[in-house]
Amino acid sequence: MKGIKAIFHSFRTKVTLVLILSLFFVACLSNFLVYRYALNAQFNQLREKLKVIAQTAALSVDPDLLMKVPLDMGGLDTPQYKIIAEKLMSIKKANHPIKYIYTMAKTDTEGIWQFVVDPVPPTKEELRRGVTSYPGDKYDASRFSEMMKAFNGPPADKELEIDEWGVTLSGYAPIRNKGGEAVAMLGVDIMAEDVYAIHKGIRQRGLFVLILGIIFSVSLGMIISNRITNPVKKLVEGTRHIANGDLKHQVDIAGSDEIGELAVAFNRVVPYQAYQMHFGSIREKNHIPAQEMLETQLTNHAEVEILELARRQRINLKGATFYINIFPCPICAKMLSRTEINGITYSQDHNLGNDIGYKVLKISGKKIKRVVF
């Protein structure tokens, strides 16, 4: 459990997960959009195809012959019915997914139409339910907005429609007489299952592309994540080496980006800092800046050394002038104020300021001069 927690806290895992998830999201989204678009395009193509089939079939039906079919059961046995039925059957056979092809004329009631020729015989199940399409059988077309446009057509259903014969997608076209007047309409239906079967191809392709997208997201995510996190891993390893006392360890990261720059800085700074920390002077070990906590220094300042040298060699400093680059620090200034020197000449200010030293030297009557180069 602790191991799993550690994995999820690792920088590499976080970067990998974020990358994979974002790539995966983009892959899914684009796949979904393409899928929707393809599905839509295919559906519209199917509607166009239905319209074309309906229109072609409508043109092949002789309107005068159709009008001569008696609109009752007796119509079934007339030669005109048989001629048209045969023609419609051959069109149905030539256009594979077409399940029904039929002609209808208007009745005196608006929206209620009647079948003229429907060559597809009713199934036993349809007969049992009393669903027939013999000449003169009524059909309520007012339920379907696209169908209602058939006499001005050709239209096609905008979605799957449900009627007594099942769930279908239909195309319609007017049958016009020589005067151009729409005397009847022709409809072609394909079953919902066939629409789904056509869509199945797209769904399968969509799924295939989605799987490819997932594989692509995971591998690309891992490759990019490795490229990002490998240098960080090397830096972490570098700190471990140095912490373990391997001060000669250098981190090897190519590239001039921020991480490359960090590696150069790391190599330049970290081993020396670590060396000072382990083996440096008291000041280095305790990170005491130069000029601060002077008592921690191993050496004396030059002023002290000179006073001590003069004492040993019995040189009388009475009336002497000290020429020094930097104004004495407070400790040296105090020592100088206790001697018999005349004063000091300096050129640069002390980086902690001259205030204390200046006061001490002045009080003891030393002359202070500054030389500016």
Could you tell me the maximum CA-CA distance found in the chain, to the nearest angstrom? 153
Cα 302 from Cα 324, distance rounded (Å): 9
Closest distance of CB 308 from Zn ion, Å? 13
CB of 331 to Zn ion, least distance (A): 5
Residue in 191, 251, 332, 361 binding Zn ion, rule: CB under 5 A: 332
* Pairwise CA distance, residues 323 & 300, whole Å: 17
Site residues (CB under 5 A) for Zn ion, limited to 24-53? none
Shortest reach from residue 314's CB to Zn ion, in Å: 23
Between the alpha carbon of residue 302 and those of residues 177, 299, 318, the distances in Å are 125, 9, 19
Q: How, if at all, do strands 138-140 and 166-176 pair?
A: unpaired
Residue 330 CB, nearest approach to Zn ion (Å): 8
Nearer to Zn ion, 247 or 352 (CB): 352
What SS3 string covers 203-214? Answer: HHHHHHHHHHHH
The residues near 92 (Cβ < 8 Å, ≥ 6 apart) are 98, 100, 101, 119, 120, 188
Q: Which of 301, 317, 320, 342 binds Zn ion (CB under 5 A)?
A: 301
Does 329 engage in binding with Zn ion (CB under 5 A)?
Answer: yes
CA pair distance 116, 106, nearest whole angstrom:
10
Task: Select from 17-25, 149-157, 273-281, 321-329 the region that touches Zn ion (CB under 5 A).
Answer: 321-329
Please identify, among the stretches 73-81, 161-169, 208-216, 294-302, the one whose residues bind Zn ion according to the rule CB under 5 A.
294-302
Binding-site string for Zn ion from residue 216 to residue 255, where x marks contact by CB under 5 A and - marks none: ----------------------------------------
CB nearer Zn ion, residue 301 or residue 362:
301
Closest to 236 in 3D by CA, of 262, 272, 275: 262
Q: Which stretch binds Zn ion (CB under 5 A): 43-51, 234-242, 323-331, 352-360?
A: 323-331
Asked whether the beta carbons of 341 and 321 are under 8 A apart, the reply is yes
What is the binding site for Zn ion (CB under 5 A)? 301, 329, 332
